[in-house]
Chains A and B, each alone.
Chain A
């Protein structure tokens, strides 16, 4: 095994461990912190897979913004901010089944897909290529992203201000 492969395994195990700890921790804020750690592990995996831009985006968006949002949300809700929360409710069995099924579907699809792009080596200027794709092939999805973001923003403000 080469060094990158060993690193991939080690980081993968740490990421999975952190992910398991997210759902088993009895303190919600610890969970949020461990979730950020999980995101970081995924970012390192992206680097090992030679897609640094995705890694940077992962850290900027998921750790720098979304996890902070989650931490704020926890601090805003009086009941869950206190330590020692009971994290099981009557639906745990149902959610376990759904989670296992979802994992099965995703794993199946991952193994079945041919992944055509993975066989070509990335060019020197992968980020510029991404930008060209935004303007060329994927111009419409690029604009749709901004509409989706707008909808998310408006919806969030309406919900947040309606208390």
Chain B
């Protein structure tokens, strides 16, 4: 281990991942608008460049050049800090996801993963918990009834859905026997875990929709009752940062589903990174598909669904998995 291994390569990886996520965010917004438009028999953005491919650039320029309006009654420090607080965990959560097969370059083995830590599975969940602060404090510091209500709802929703999510992952760990991401991907060399843990997959994906505040769980942004919720008082680049955080969270959840349940970068013929990319893209498409197809749920139903259906189901899934593993082992 010299400085190239400990400093240069990780720094390059970190920068590539950060910019990759930003690029992913930019084109995810375009893809979502295009796909939603097709679902509704519209064209979607098509003015900026062929097929609207420069639309994200135009959006970014708009966000940067927009005059900022800081309402006079806000809690200044937290108000400015919160978009950052929402954004940083979103980027951080990607660190443990392996995006491809390790390869050898000039005698050095390079893993396509930022950090292969032994609590890899818990890391994204822990970091997602940090992201909730950006939202709850952002809504509070705005000093606006709608913002605060949106922030409270979101936080209650995020912590509630974290529970079945965590329980579904315990069942997954029983099968794999490791919390290390690289180990979980290796385990799926022959068979993706979705086959062994179909209920766990469903629970995880539903919770992923709720954790990222996506339709049909998009309560923070109920524009008809909360005028966009926790980010009502935010504009320009600060609003853009909140928006980015949501989309990057969505990319991270899709990448996690791909890694944990769909076999990660494992797959025949094609190179590993391409498999990873395809699986993540499919999950992102499902996110948009769900949004285009389902109406928003009612808040009380959302909470009841989590506590009275998903959580008991996750507990049953966990115990059944444990029993089956024991029986199969003999």
A60 touches which one: B77, B125, B155 (CB < 8 A)? B125
Given A33-B78, A64-B162; A59-B119 close (CB under 8 Å): no
A56 at the interface (CB under 8 A from B): yes
**What's the least CB distance linking A139 to chain B, in Å?**
16
**A contact residues, range:** 20 to 34
A56 to B133, Cβ gap below 8 A? no
Best-surrounded residue of A29, A56, A128 (most CB of chain B within 10 A): A56
Residues of A within 8 A of B179 (CB): 127
Partner of B119, one of A36, A40, A127: A127
Closest 8 CB pairs of A and B: A64-B129, A59-B126, A56-B122, A56-B119, A52-B119, A60-B126, A56-B126, A53-B119
A-B contact pairs, 12 of them (CB 8 A): A30-B78, A33-B133, A36-B133, A52-B117, A52-B118, A53-B118, A55-B119, A60-B122, A63-B130, A64-B159, A71-B155, A72-B156
Q: Is the CB of B140 within 8 A of A83?
A: no
In the bound complex, how far is the Cα of B74 from the Cα of A83, in angstroms?
A: 12
Minimum CB distance partner of A63 in chain B: B129
Contacts of A71 in B (CB 8 A): 136, 155
Interface residues of B in 120-147 (CB under 8 A from A): 122-123, 125-130, 132-133, 136-137, 140
Closest chain A CB from B79 CB (angstroms)? 12
Interface contact B117-A68, CB-CB below 8 Å: no
**Given the complex of chains A and B, what is the CA–CA distance between A71 and B135 in angstroms?**
12
**Known contacts A56-B122, A60-B125, A126-B118; is-contact A65 B136 (Cβ 8 Å):** no
Interface bits B70-93 vs A (CB < 8 Å: 1, else 0)? 000001011000000000000000
Which residues of chain B have C-beta atoms less than 8 A from A53's C-beta? 118-119, 122
Q: Mark A89-123, 1 if CB is under 8 A from B, else 0.
A: 00000000000000000000000000000000000
Question: B82: nearest residue on chain A (CB-CB)?
Answer: A33
Interface SS of B by simple majority? helix
B255 adjacent to chain A (CB < 8 Å): no
Does B152 lie at the interface of the complex (its beta carbon under 8 Å from any beta carbon of A)? yes
Interfacial chain B residues near A150, Cβ < 8 Å: none
Cα of A55 to Cα of B117 in the assembled complex, Å? 12
Chain B: residues with Cβ within 8 Å of the partner, total of 27
The complex places the Cα of A63 from the Cα of B127 at a distance, in Å, of: 10
Q: How many A-B residue pairs have CB under 8 A?
A: 62
> B13 to chain A: closest CB distance in Å?
19
**B167 to nearest A CB, angstroms?**
13
Query: In whole angstroms, how far apart are the Cα atoms of A128 and B123 in the complex?
Result: 17
Per-residue 0/1 for A53-75: is the Cβ within 8 Å of any B Cβ (1 yes, 0 no)?
10110011001110010011001
Across-interface contacts of B118 in A (CB, < 8 A): 52-53, 126-127
Can you add 6 more A-B contacts, CB < 8 Å, to A63-B133, A127-B118? A27-B75, A56-B123, A60-B122, A60-B129, A68-B136, A126-B118
Docked-complex contact B132 and A64, CB < 8 angstroms: yes
Scoring B75, B133, B155 by chain A CB atoms within 10 A of each residue's CB, the highest score goes to B133
Question: Could you say which residues of chain B place their CB within 8 Å of the CB of A126?
Answer: 118
Complexed CA–CA distance, A87 and B128 (Å): 32
CA distance A29 to B130 in the complex (A): 16
Proximity string of chain B (258-274) to chain A, C-beta cutoff 8 Å, 1 when within and 0 when not? 00000000000000000
Tell me whether B126 and A65 are in contact (CB under 8 A): no
Q: How far is the CB of B229 from chain A (nearest CB, A)?
A: 15
Q: Are A64 and B119 in contact (CB under 8 A)?
A: no
CA distance A97 to B326 in the complex (A): 55
Output the least CB separation between A3 and chain B (Å).
Answer: 10
Closest Cβ neighbor of A59 among chain B residues = B126
| CB-CB nearest in chain B for A40 | B130
Contact in complex: B159, A68 (CB < 8 Å): yes
Which residues from chain A contact B125 at a C-beta distance below 8 Å? Answer: 60, 64
Give, as a whole number of angstroms, the nearest-CB distance from A48 to chain B.
Answer: 14
Residues of B within 8 A of A56 (CB): 119, 122-123, 126
Question: How close is B171's CB to chain A, nearest CB, in angstroms?
Answer: 15
Residue in A55, A60, A63, A64 with the greatest tally of chain B CB atoms within 10 Å? A64
In the bound complex, CA of A59 to CA of B162 (Å):
13
Task: Tell me whether B78 and A65 are in contact (CB under 8 A).
Answer: no
B77's closest neighbor in chain A, by CB? A30
- In the complex, A163→B138 CA distance in Å? 30
B119, A33: Cβ atoms closer than 8 Å = no
CA A108 to CA B13, docked complex, whole Å: 45
Max chain B Cβ within 10 angstroms of own Cβ: one of A65, A71, A72, A128: A71
Q: In the assembly, what is the distance between CA of A63 and CA of B130, in Å?
A: 7
A30: chain B residues at CB < 8 Å are 77-78
